[in-house]
Amino acid sequence: MPQSPALVLASSSPWRRELLERLELPFEWASPDIDESPTPGETAPELVERLSAAKARALGDRYPAHLIIGSDQVAALANGTILGKPGNHERACEQLAECSGQSVAFFTGLALYDSAGGAVEVRHETFTVRFRTLSWEEIDGYLKREQPYQCAGSFRMEGLGITLFEGFEGRDPNTLVGLPLMALTDLLRARGLNPLTFSAG
């Protein structure tokens, strides 16, 4: 028998699933259905923490005795402007033009919800990216090739997006992809689920 409650990832993102697979823990995944709109006056850290918890809790009825992982990400310019998922080419062009030559902070929220007991642990990680000065031709060419329209900040770190940067800083580069594995490992270990000692038998 498994040593702890089954694990569920509350996300439809293939990138988050690939990251979670690195911990070599068995898990299921399902897409939560929540409203991701920010509330008036909400900061980027507050937004991602709230949405991460909401995503995890949204699957509680379907998975009543599980540890459910929720995560959400936004980017923020130095002036506090929040950059979410662009949704289309035009908005993605606008986002990358705003990011060009700037340092942009990416906030990734993380929640671990125990659906049996109702406890939830929530936190966020920050990763800062320094964008190169980008020409319009570079922006348009990149977006047409990768079409990262469902990614906060209009790029995918795990693809050609790395060519947009001149540097970055932060504790865990997985944060930029969308799931901070170091922080997640801390939360799982606190719940008795250590990837280094887990045994399914």
Please give the positions annotated as active site.
72
State the Cα–Cα distance between residues 171 and 183, nearest whole angstrom.
10
Q: Write down the pLDDT at residue 85.
A: 86
Polymer length of the chain: 201
How high is the pLDDT of residue 4? Answer: 56
Give the Cα separation of 43 and 108 in Å (integer): 13
Q: What is the pLDDT of residue 2?
A: 42
Full set of structural domains in the chain with CATH:
6-190 (3.90.950.10)
DSSP calls for 42-56: --HHHHHHHHHHHHH
Q: From first to last of its 201 residues, what are the pLDDT tens digits of the chain?
A: 344 569 999 998 898 999 999 999 999 999 998 988 888 888 889 999 999 999 999 999 999 999 999 999 988 998 888 888 899 999 999 999 999 999 999 999 999 999 999 999 999 999 999 999 999 999 999 999 999 998 888 988 778 989 999 999 999 999 988 899 999 999 999 999 999 998 765
DSSP per position, 61-85:
TTSTTEEEEEEEEEEE-TT--EE--
- What pTM value is reported for the model? 0.88
pLDDT of residue 201: 56
Question: What local confidence, expressed as pLDDT, does residue 200 receive?
Answer: 66
The residue type of 176 is L
Q: How far apart are CA 44 and CA 109, in angstroms?
A: 9
CA distance 155 to 164: 9
Identify the pLDDT of residue 180: 96
